[in-house]
């Protein structure tokens, strides 16, 4: 369990509030140390990198629409598979686009509480774990949840998205 907690920042509190509004009692933790990368997050909470639910925002190259992929921290996302799911080619989103679409900065994008509704795709490998950890609004905040809760919590579609 994390050692040094700090009071929740406004962005982390927004995620905590979104979770409560969804009827979930998961506890958002904000740490002094960075949880920006999957490796940093896993080290901070003492879990395997694969248990980190990393949020990656992609942009449809034809439509300009955002899509969120929640992937296992151990996996790379196969953009061609995502393109098939979205019916258009995709590319990584810029930091400004991510903040505009989700309301959060890269490294802290949570699975819930976004500024605008967006399609969500969940890496099927996350469901191999009993518990996972997701970002909670800042590159220092996260929360634990049972992996089986992620699809109903987000309305996301579970898919085979692992590259390689």
HEC per residue, 15-75: HHHHHHHCCCCCCCEEECCCCCCHHHHHHHHCCCHHHEEEEEEEEECCCCCEEEEEEECCC
Instruction: Examine residue 4 and state whether it is found in any structural domain, yes or no.
Output: no
Residue 47 has pLDDT above 60, yes or no: yes
The answer as to whether 1 is a domain residue is no
Cβ neighbours of residue 61 closer than 8 Å, sequence gap 6 or more: 88, 89, 90, 91
CATH number at residue 120: 3.90.960.10
Q: Is residue 5 part of a domain?
A: no
Domain boundaries, position 78: 10-159
Structural domain contains residue 17: yes
Residue 91 inside a domain? The answer is yes
Which band of pLDDT confidence, cut at 50, 70 and 90, is reported for residue 4?
Answer: confident
Residue 3 has a pLDDT of: 57
Residue 99 belongs to some domain of the structure: yes
Please give the Cα distance from 130 to 51 (Å, whole number): 9
**21, part of any domain:** yes
Segment 93-114 mean pLDDT: 96
Residue 89 lies in a domain: yes
- Tens-digit pLDDT profile for residues 123-160: 999 999 999 999 999 999 999 999 999 999 999 999 99
pTM of the model: 0.94
Quote the pLDDT of residue 164.
Answer: 85
Number of folded domains that form the chain: 1
Largest CA distance in the chain: 45
| Average pLDDT along the chain | 95
């Amino acid at each position: 369990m994390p050692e040094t907690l700090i009071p929740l920042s406004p962005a982390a509190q927004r995620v905590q509030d979104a979770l409560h509004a969804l009827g979930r009692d998961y506890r958002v933790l904000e740490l002094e140390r960075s949880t920006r990368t999957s490796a940093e997050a896993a080290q901070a909470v003492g879990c395997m990198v694969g248990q980190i639910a990393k949020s990656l925002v992609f942009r449809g190259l034809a439509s300009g629409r955002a899509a969120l992929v929640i992937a296992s921290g151990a996996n790379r996302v196969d953009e061609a598979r995502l393109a098939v799911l979205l019916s258009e080619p995709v590319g990584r989103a810029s930091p400004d686009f991510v903040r505009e679409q989700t309301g959060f900065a890269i490294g802290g994008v949570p699975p819930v509480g976004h500024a605008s509704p967006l399609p969500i795709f969940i890496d099927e490998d996350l469901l191999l774990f009993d518990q996972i950890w997701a970002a909670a609004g800042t590159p220092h905040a996260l929360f634990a949840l049972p992996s089986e809760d992620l699809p109903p919590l987000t309305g996301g579609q579970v898919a085979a998205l692992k590259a390689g």
